[in-house]
Amino acid sequence: MKIQILTIFPGICEGVLRESMLKRAREKGLADIQALDLRAWAADKHRTTDAAPYGGGPGMVMKIEPIHRALQELRGEDTRVVLMTPQGRKFSQPLAETYAKEKHIIVICGHYEGVDQRVADYLVDDEISIGDYVLTNGALAALIFTDAIVRLVPGVLGDDQSAVQESFSTGLLDHPQYTRPENFNGWSVPEALLSGNHGAIASWRKARARELTERRRPDLLPASPPP
C-alpha cells in the first residue's frame, strides 16, 4: 500500500512517520508512506499555495492549481484521492477497514480557512472528517487517518489478533486490561483475571465491555427490538 500525504507542512508528518508502528510498517515494506510538500507543485517563484477568499472574509483559502498539478503527476489508475476537511463524512473503523484494502491513497490536507471548493467538486473521491472539531492543520487529521488504516494492513501489528478483538471491531468498547503488579497501593487486579480459568476470564471481559459500552457509548449498541 502507498499513502502520499500532500501538505504544506510535511515536517509535521515526518516525526510521526519515523516512530513506532508506522515506522515498522515502512521498514517492513508493508506501507510506503510519504509526506510531500505541496509547494513543490506551485508554479510561481514564491511557491504560493493560498489566496484570499472571493467574497471577502478572514484568512486564506488553499488554491486549486498546485493541488491539480500534484494530482496530475501522482494519480494513477488505482488511486483514491481523499480530502481531509471538517465538512467531510465522519471517519470510523468501518471506513478505515475499507481504506486498508486500497493500493494507493493520496491525502490532501486543508489548512487555514479551507480549500477552494472546486477541489472537492472536481478532483477528489472522498471528503473525510476525523471528528466534530476544527484543527488548525489538516496534516494532523491525515496522520490519524493514515495510522488507523496502516495498522489494519496484514503484518503491521505483531499479533494479527489484536486488530480483530479490539474496540469497534467487536462493536463494543474494549474491556479493561491489567498487568503486574497484582496489588499496587491496595488497588488490586480483579479476581476473575487471576483465576487462570479461560472461560471465566472471557465472560468477565465480555461483561465489562458490554457494561462500559452501555455507560459511555450506548450509541454503539444495536437498537433494541420494539416490544
**Closest residue by Cα to residue 139 from 4, 5, 37:** 5
Burial of 67 by CB count in 10 Å (0-12 exposed, 13-18 middle, 19+ buried)? Answer: buried
For residues 202 and 227, give the distance between their C-alpha atoms in angstroms, rounded to a whole number: 30
Sole binder of ligand ADE in the list 4, 85, 146, 213 (CB under 6 A): 85
Cα 74 from chain centroid? 21
Based on the shown chain and the rule CB under 6 A, indicate whether residue 138 belongs to the binding site for ligand ADE. Answer: yes
Sole binder of ligand ADE in the list 60, 64, 74, 135 (CB under 6 A): 135
Based on the shown chain and the rule CB under 6 A, indicate whether residue 5 belongs to the binding site for ligand ADE. Answer: no
Based on the shown chain and the rule CB under 6 A, indicate whether residue 223 belongs to the binding site for ligand ADE. Answer: no
88 vs 157 by CB, closer to ligand ADE: 88
Helix boundaries (H) for 93-190: 93-99, 117-122, 138-150, 162-165
Hey, what's the cell of 225?
427490538
Per DSSP bridges, beta strands 183-184 and 187-188 are antiparallel
Long-range pairs for 56-59 at CB < 8 Å and ≥24 separation?
57/113, 58/113, 59/112, 59/113
- Nearest residue to the partner ligand ADE, using Cβ: 141
> What is the closest distance, in whole angstroms, from the C-beta atom of residue 201 to ligand ADE in the complex?
38
43 vs 134 by CB, closer to ligand ADE: 134
For residues 16 and 150, give the distance between their C-alpha atoms in angstroms, rounded to a whole number: 13
Based on the shown chain and the rule CB under 6 A, indicate whether residue 187 belongs to the binding site for ligand ADE. Answer: no
> What is the closest distance, in whole angstroms, from the C-beta atom of residue 207 to ligand ADE in the complex?
34
Sole binder of ligand ADE in the list 84, 106, 156, 209 (CB under 6 A): 84
Based on the shown chain and the rule CB under 6 A, indicate whether residue 86 belongs to the binding site for ligand ADE. Answer: yes
**Closest residue by Cα to residue 84 from 21, 18, 28, 142:** 142
Sole binder of ligand ADE in the list 130, 148, 150, 209 (CB under 6 A): 130
Based on the shown chain and the rule CB under 6 A, indicate whether residue 106 belongs to the binding site for ligand ADE. Answer: no
Based on the shown chain and the rule CB under 6 A, indicate whether residue 38 belongs to the binding site for ligand ADE. Answer: no
Residue corresponding to grid cell 465538512: 87
Sole binder of ligand ADE in the list 141, 143, 148, 150 (CB under 6 A): 141
Q: Kindly determine how many residues on this chain lie close enough to bind ligand ADE according to the rule CB under 6 A.
A: 12
> What is the closest distance, in whole angstroms, from the C-beta atom of residue 39 to ligand ADE in the complex?
19
Chain residues that interact with ligand ADE, rule: CB under 6 A: 84-86, 110, 129-131, 133-135, 138, 141
